[in-house]
Structure 1
């Protein structure tokens, strides 16, 4: 009898595990995703007292978009995240839309007590009642503060601190301290342009200027901006990131950026042409962490509004990109924003293999060398041949995700047309392309693969692509292909161990 009961118990245990695996087979293993329900834009990203805080647009009652809250997660390394209790709930002023957070070191807001600098969140209140009335004034900016390192929040009694002047899309404040004039600068998305405001105390705001009516891409509404300086060749260059939906280079949501000068009032771009932050389909609402000094770390929402509500994940929807260090690089006389994986990701590396002077003519199978049952890995290589080549991720059911370089077009690409489940949205299973911006003869690539995503960093981050996909089984097979033949001068492969812990 005991043996029968034990057998039944073991069978139930096995079935439970299999059901869990099937239920969460697309779960990212080292990208942040909520335990359950809907997530979109990263919000309020800030570093304070040794902890990185990630807030995010969250709907706790369903896995499709709904009344927005601020979810909350914390990390000491931007790699391993712990989901915390919800930080901000909707109230009589509306849903809690996107925004930012700052450490008010000088207590300009007056919220600090006993010498403790407050964390101050600046966010958009979205009022659904006013939206139905079509007043055009249903979005406005409010603030909240925390004196216990983000564990609890008190909304300011004087909200909203920035009323809506009559602009339908009036949202996503990114606030930072402008030291030369000792004031806060708010970079705000206002329909199809950016408006800058300033404040001495985070409570009273003055309009300074606007930018963008005649610059960049205008295929959709402008959202989730960011503004920060980076030193480049001894000069301070200001970076203005503007996310846009739709109108991206490969359809739907994407992020563009402008480089220029900022004097505390006006942003003057070097060029009004569009530069793209990421040419893939799945890096949106990307902004940087605050309070990180001269280091600028970007994190985005790894999805696209074309299909975000339809992706076949359960019981959650959406994940974030890996954190990325930003810098600037000149190519000829043009300056570009570059992004590379943060060095903290290296802590997740597991033993792999490396090889020099690898000849690829036809197909080279790396599956046995990799010995990777999870499909989680990092691949770095460089080649001087500049001939067509492809990196293929595959599995036993015939799914293939192809990442490659097309010499004739001088383009990188990710083709997810045969990557697994694609029928949930007619445009999902397509090939995405990105221009090669580097002029050097050597092509260098870094590829980061998780259970349901790839992130490509080409030529030291000059060209970046992020795409999600949904394979039937883990992509445990790996090939490199080239019809005309290439020599990979240096190849390094390492596995990546999971970092996500779901309580």
Structure 2
């Protein structure tokens, strides 16, 4: 199979995974086994629109270079294969292993078709692999968990050792009820109900793709919290799809949130900005974490799109990509744990510094960087001290103005700016190129970002159809798709008002 980075078209990303052909959405079955990371995902093997849901498959040894594999679990005339997870069944509790080799077990949602005896239901099923993920067999006893529900889906399964015992835990959703339901099992085959979490915080759309995992706070293994992730669509903070999270405790039976702001259904005056959001952009959805990662790292990836316009985004026989993989941690801020994210950086081993600037005052307007600092695939590290300026930031993926060079008043551009009055970071893609394919696409995303010692730190990843922004070392992130012209590659420094200082800038490509 070809490495996806060997395939070229205008919007195909270099460092974000996309299928060679056809439709892609939610990441599924994320698991590490024998030196290989497995990324499964919702996939239509037969077209560039949603349908025929099956599990696509890609593998990587470094989370940067991905190789597409054959379809892992295909749909059939009885069921579509919806989202789920995968585990290494180390103790062979399922009995699927052979010759002392632990099996990989996928736990997925069977969305039963009209030809099935279970027509209209969504229930949880298993498939297993005894050749380290190369081929998969559906369990003959499927489904293994059926609530006779039409909207019971997206199981995330993990092994739990605690005071309540040692067993597999499943978190899944009753999507329309805004509930995460928890079950336990000794063998992945028979499941017993534990508890229900929700509704809570954002309930403006269906709940999907939950996750639950434990993290140390500030790296201290004696002080941990559990993180419950719940994606929803619509109802995200930036409009349409989004992912929220709760921080709390889990005793093996019940998850108790310490960060719930709104109990029960969301109302018109619910404080959306006070909820925990994985990302404040429009295009980070269905994010879930890998199982069995070495050294206990918690690695997460999301679908880089939004259900509002996903079917309309530009396509050249393929549609949609994944985000960069992110490492998730908890750190203390203001006496409480908060979530921070850092991208697994493809430029660490594959990049070269193209341009750098040291501390200097910022001139009002846009100061365009030289040609060597421009491009469509870049990492930009910038630190600002806004001072008395009203706004500071960067102009990204800018096109040529009427004179043939980037200019303030003409040409496409994506603007990342910090407003010193509101203390908000915004990403404006209203003039980012092709924005007319759907009315919901032109947008401005905003997130509150307090300065630290008067400074703002940004790490920005540009790829051919996306911008991922990590502010203040990952305390806030914004992920947006953009579809600029190939020639739109200019980068500029932005300042409104005098008094701003650029502390440092580095462009890596």
TM above 0.5, yes or no, is yes
1:39 corresponds to 2:21: no
- Measured at CA, do residues 366 and 106 of structure 1 come closer, stay the same or move farther in structure 2, by a change above 3 Å? farther
Matches within 5 A, 1:36-115: 36-115=21-100
1:253 aligned partner: 241
1:428 aligned partner: 441
Matches within 5 A, 1:119-158: 119-129=104-114, 138-158=121-141
| Cα shift at 1:30 | 1.1
Per-residue Cα deviation, 1:127-171 (whole angstroms, up to 9, x for no partner): 13189x9x99610000011011111001111100001x2433100
Aligned length: 469
Q: Out of 495, 503, 509, which is 1:482 matched to?
A: 495
Q: Is the 8 A contact 1:130 1:137 kept in 2?
A: no
1:187 corresponds to 2:171: yes
Per-residue Cα deviation, 1:97-138 (whole angstroms, up to 9, x for no partner): 00000001111111111111100000000013189x9x9961
Q: Out of 157, 160, 164, which is 1:178 matched to?
A: 160
Q: Is the 8 A contact 1:42 1:301 kept in 2?
A: yes
Q: Is the 8 A contact 2:355 2:373 kept in 1?
A: no
CA distance in 2, matches of 1:468, 1:59: 21
Q: Is the 8 A contact 2:373 2:491 kept in 1?
A: no
- Measured at CA, do residues 438 and 148 of structure 1 come closer, stay the same or move farther in structure 2, by a change above 3 Å? farther
Greater mean alpha carbon deviation, residues 235-244 or residues 374-383: 374-383
| Cα shift at 1:483 | 1.5
1:207 corresponds to 2:193: yes
Structure 1: stretches of 5+ with no match in the other structure: 1-19, 496-503
Per-residue Cα deviation, 1:174-226 (whole angstroms, up to 9, x for no partner): 0111022220110101121100111111111111000012x110000000011
CA distance in 1, matches of 2:86, 2:160: 15
Q: Out of 226, 239, 261, which is 2:227 matched to?
A: 239
2:289 aligned partner: 288
Q: Is the 8 A contact 1:136 1:166 kept in 2?
A: no
Q: Out of 281, 299, 302, which is 1:300 matched to?
A: 302
Per-residue Cα deviation, 1:330-350 (whole angstroms, up to 9, x for no partner): 221342211111145411212
2:505 aligned partner: 491
Structure 2: stretches of 5+ with no match in the other structure: 1-6, 262-274, 402-410
1:29 corresponds to 2:42: no
CA distance in 2, matches of 1:344, 1:179: 34
1:399 corresponds to 2:412: yes
CA distance in 1, matches of 2:425, 2:331: 19
Alignment TM-score, normalising by the size of structure 2: 0.89
Greater mean alpha carbon deviation, residues 50-59 or residues 477-486: 477-486
Greater mean alpha carbon deviation, residues 68-77 or residues 432-441: 432-441
| Cα shift at 1:439 | 5.3
